[in-house]
């Protein structure tokens, strides 16, 4: 379970880093104006590329966390041990 907590913190840190580097985290931003964002990306393309490169790492950590939690709680005796 320590690994699950560690993965959760890694996911949070990666999401913060992606936001800092310019990766848009909202699936449907409310005020998404691509014309306004393109100059930002053109001024610092390396920062945007780093933000986009962090996204697959974050997605892998989310999948690994889900698998780890599934493996941890798949036995009913672990979940219901306090009942």
Per-residue pLDDT reduced to its tens digit, 16-32:
888 888 777 666 666 66
Distances (CA, A) of 33 to 15, 38, 40, 44, 80: 21, 9, 12, 18, 49
Structural domain contains residue 30: no
Domain count, the chain: 1
Residues 14 and 10: their CA atoms lie apart, in Å, by 6
Domain assignment of residue 19, given as a range: 2-24+35-78
In a domain, 72, yes or no: yes
In a domain, 29, yes or no: no
| Residue-averaged pLDDT of the chain | 80
- Dump strand ranges (E) for the chain: none
For residue 64, tell me if it sits in a domain: yes
Q: Is 83 part of a structural domain of the chain?
A: no
Q: Provide the pLDDT confidence category of residue 9 given band limits of 50, 70 and 90.
A: very high
**14 lies in some domain:** yes
Residues 11/20/26/34 CA torsion (nearest 10 deg): -150
**Residue 59, in any domain of the structure:** yes
């Amino acid at each position: 379970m320590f690994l699950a907590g560690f993965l959760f913190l890694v996911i949070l840190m990666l999401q913060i880093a992606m936001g800092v580097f310019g990766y848009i985290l909202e699936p449907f931003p409310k005020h998404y104006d691509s014309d306004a964002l393109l100059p930002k990306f053109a001024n610092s393309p390396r920062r945007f590329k780093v933000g986009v490169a962090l996204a697959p790492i974050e997605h892998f950590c989310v999948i690994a966390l889900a698998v780890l939690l599934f493996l941890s709680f798949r036995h009913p005796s672990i979940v219901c041990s306090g009942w």
